[in-house]
Structure 1
Amino acid sequence: MSIRIKLGTAVINVATCYVPQTGCSEEEKDEFWEKLDEFIRTIAPDEHILIRGDLNSHMGLDGNAMGEEASA
């Protein structure tokens, strides 16, 4: 999902996305990144883009962000 906002002479494109989760196939993950790349290429060079969402980052050695082993 995305929205295009005009602020004076500036244009900001705001997109929300959710990366396929860890258990998804590599094919699904590759398809997501290809679609995101296609979207980004539609944005004019003089426009701004802000991408927000769950990019599925993992923290910590075991994916658990709690405890002394947590790292970013």
Structure 2
Amino acid sequence: MVASGTKPDKATFISLLITCSHSGFIEKGREIFESMRSIDGLPYEIEHVSCIVDILGRARYLTEAK
């Protein structure tokens, strides 16, 4: 998507984060979450935060998820 010049939007990030959560890609999910703000300049919304909490919770990083 990025290679084609298309900029990801908030829905794209939600989809990516959900995929990471269900696939067990903890580190990739963290990278995507961080890049959302640092690279793409998009603010975190409740849906994005919920996804990262789900990723961390499934990985048993409960303190960090909290």
TM-score (norm 2): 0.36
More helix by share: 2
TM-score (norm 1): 0.34
Kindly name which structure, 1 or 2, has the bigger radius of gyration based on alpha carbons: 1
